[in-house]
Each structure stands twice: as structure tokens, then as C-alpha cells.
Amino acid sequence: MSAEYAGRIRLEIDETTRVATITLDRPAKLNAVTPAMAADLVAAVQRCNDDHGVRAVVLTGAGERAFSVGSDVTALDGYATPWDFRNRTDYCDALRRLLKPSIAAVNGYALGGGLETALSCDIRLAADTAWLGAPEVKLGWIGGGGMSAFLSRAAGPSNAALMLMTGDPITADQALRWQLVSEVTPAADLRPRAHELAAAIAQRAPIAVETAKINLRAAASMSEDQALEYERDLQTICFATEDAQEGRRAFAEKRAPSFERR
């Protein structure tokens, strides 16, 4: 099943693997995000959240040149006031509201808001042709979609400062060394690998996977003691589900479990 959104967002759902693919589909403009695309991305994320048949999401960019170069700079003057700009629909916020596990398949340039978009996903894979950067400082501003917080958390404060203060991009191999991405693959293998990984995750107990996602996000802002207590509470919730009972039965019967998200 697929859906086209007017703002150049494409959503495809594979009912066999239970993997949804969201594609930023404006390749002639390096998948730069317009306000209309941002609104449609919100709608696509909501659709994935509402569809219990979707168990994992892959996010990528159309074409071979770019994942996304972030917001379309030519559209930024369309905001009547700085306050309107501050309260715009933000595509990174939308992705962080995604309940399902998400994988960014970074297939080319991931710059500015494009890098923030990738950082908003749970797992990042990159093509060996990818470049990642935060060039906003070269234009007179800084990122506002979580760049500083998520970049420093992923790459470390010094590496984040280097990227944020120079605005210069780094290669996929450098991103791998800095742990900004989990894997680097040949460009032709990127999307198949992302879907292979998403399909594997989709076979796991969905409540447990979604709870793991919640736990990871929460632990980043908690003390160690709070994080341990919160994890134990979430474990108890998962343990009480029908899927957990099915997992134990399947283990005892030496068969593959059949999880129903209950």
C-alpha cells in the first residue's frame, strides 16, 4: 500500500514485512523540506502511529544525491515574523513523535535539518557516498530541530562543536568513527540493508520494541538510579503482556513466536 502526499512525501507500507517507508520525494531540490512537506510528514507519521500493522519505519530521500539538505532556504522568508518561524510545523518534532522504531537510510547529503532528521531516528545507516553536516552557521544561524542536543549526544561535545562551529560536512566513514551512524554500506546496498534491518525488528514483540524506544529516550535525561527504576517498571509492564506469555511459550515449545501486539 502506498500514499502520495501533495507536499512531496511518499509513504509505502509493506503488509508482508510490516515495514513502512517514508520518502522525502523532492530530488531535484535535494529533498529540501518545504512547509507543505513538513505538514505532510506529520500526517505520514500519524498514519504509521495509528496503523498497528506497521512495526518499523524506514526514512530515506528520493534519488541518489541527497537524503535531505534540510529546510528549503527560499521558503524561510515566507514567515511573516520571527515568532511565526519559531512556531512553524517542525518535521524533526514529527519524527520524534513516531512511536514505532525508525531507521534513517542516509543516501547522500544530510545537511542542516536533514542531519537533524536523521538524528531524530533511532538507528542511522549511511551510504558510503553520504556527507553529514550542520552548515547553518555559514548562513548566519544555528539549527533548531535538536541539532546541538542530539549531535553532542551521538558524536560527543568536541566533535559536535567542530561540526557546529565550522559548518563543514564529514564523510560517512568519519560519521561511523564518531558513532553518528551504525553502519556504512555501498550506496546500492543501503535501502535493501535498511529494509532488512527494519523487517528483523518488525518480527520482534512490538510492545517490547516500542517500550525499548521509550526507555532509551527517557534514560538520556534521567539519573542512573531513576533510569534503573524506570526500566524495571517498563520491564514489568512488558512482562504482563500477552506477547510476553507467547514468547515464553514459544521458547518452551522450541518454535518461532507469533506476536500480536497485545
For the stretch 149-179, pLDDT in tens is 999 999 999 999 999 999 999 999 999 999 9
From 4, 12, 15, 136, the catalytic residue: 136
231: left (phi over 0), alpha (psi -120 to 50) or beta: alpha
pLDDT at 228: 92
Residue extents of the structural domains in the chain = 2-202, 206-253
pLDDT at 82: 81
CATH superfamily of 206-253: Lyase 2-enoyl-coa Hydratase, Chain  A, domain 2 (1.10.12.10)
pLDDT at 6: 66
Catalytic annotation on 136? yes
pLDDT at 185: 98
User: What does the pLDDT look like over 8-53, one tens digit per residue?
Assistant: 999 999 999 999 999 999 999 999 999 999 999 999 999 999 999 9
From 4, 15, 116, 224, the catalytic residue: 116
Q: What is the mean pLDDT of the chain?
A: 93
CATH topology of domain 2-202: 2-enoyl-CoA Hydratase; Chain A, domain 1 (3.90.226)
Q: How confident is the model at residue 55 (pLDDT cuts 50, 70, 90)?
A: very high
Catalytic annotation on 15? no
